[in-house]
């Protein structure tokens, strides 16, 4: 598993779970001076262990096919209890303040579903998020699990006589295994009256 110092998103989740919220600062040096204004802040500092990330660090959270920066993630977390129109207005206001800075960083406005998914994942209420790419170690573990289950590589777990087609179409072997375990049902009349001999 990747260490918490290499992944800012995982580190943020761990600090929220431990009730040790990070602080926004204006320098990479470790300090206890928190800055409330994200337009001025440049780094997000964590305790235990002490570590600081630049706010423009891209994270594993993907929105519109591009990674969302740590500033946008932290802003969404700070505004988690705010209604959507207020969140959007706050993001636009902060973007106007950031527009005057060199390099023009900005807050990426997350749509409702993405924001809800992010907040749920950060709180620890869910273990997976469809918007968060897995870590490299998670990807290799998933591949190992697929090989072990027979889904990828190796020998298939579906018996060869179980017909890999249904209605002339090819079906995934795992789905075919589920179909084989289903109870066969007849129509209503056959179930109620039985099959009449012909």
Comparing 127 with 166, the larger pLDDT belongs to 127
pLDDT, position 138 = 53
Residue 29 in this model has a pLDDT that exceeds 60: yes
Q: How far apart are CA 16 and CA 86, in angstroms?
A: 23
pTM as predicted = 0.65
**How many C-beta neighbours within 10 Å does residue 190 have?**
11
Least confident window among 20-29, 141-150, 167-176 = 141-150
Contact residues for 82 (Cβ-Cβ < 8 A; gap 6+): 90
What's the Cα-to-Cα distance from 193 to each of 2, 184, 185, rounded to whole Å? Answer: 62, 16, 14
Give, for 93, the enclosing helix (H) or strand (E).
Answer: helix 84-98
């Amino acid at each position: 598993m990747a260490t918490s110092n290499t992944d800012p998103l995982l580190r943020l989740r761990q600090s929220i779970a431990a009730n040790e919220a990070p602080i926004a600062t204006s320098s990479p040096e470790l300090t206890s001076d928190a800055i409330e204004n994200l337009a001025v802040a440049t780094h997000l500092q964590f305790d235990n262990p002490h570590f600081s990330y630049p706010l423009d660090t891209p994270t594993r959270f993907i929105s519109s096919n591009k990674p969302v920066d740590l500033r946008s993630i932290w802003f969404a977390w700070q505004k988690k209890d705010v209604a959507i129109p207020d969140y959007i207005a706050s993001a636009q206001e902060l973007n106007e303040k950031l527009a005057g800075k060199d390099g023009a960083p900005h807050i990426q406005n997350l749509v409702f579903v993405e924001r809800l998914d992010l907040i749920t994942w950060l709180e620890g209420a869910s273990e997976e998020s469809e918007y968060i790419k897995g870590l490299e170690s998670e990807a290799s573990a998933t591949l190992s699990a697929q090989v072990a289950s027979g889904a990828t590589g190796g020998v298939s777990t579906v018996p060869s006589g179980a017909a890999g087609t249904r209605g002339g179409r090819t079906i995934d072997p795992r789905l075919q295994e589920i179909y084989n375990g289903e109870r066969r049902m007849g129509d209503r009349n056959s179930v109620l009256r039985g099959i009449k001999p012909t």
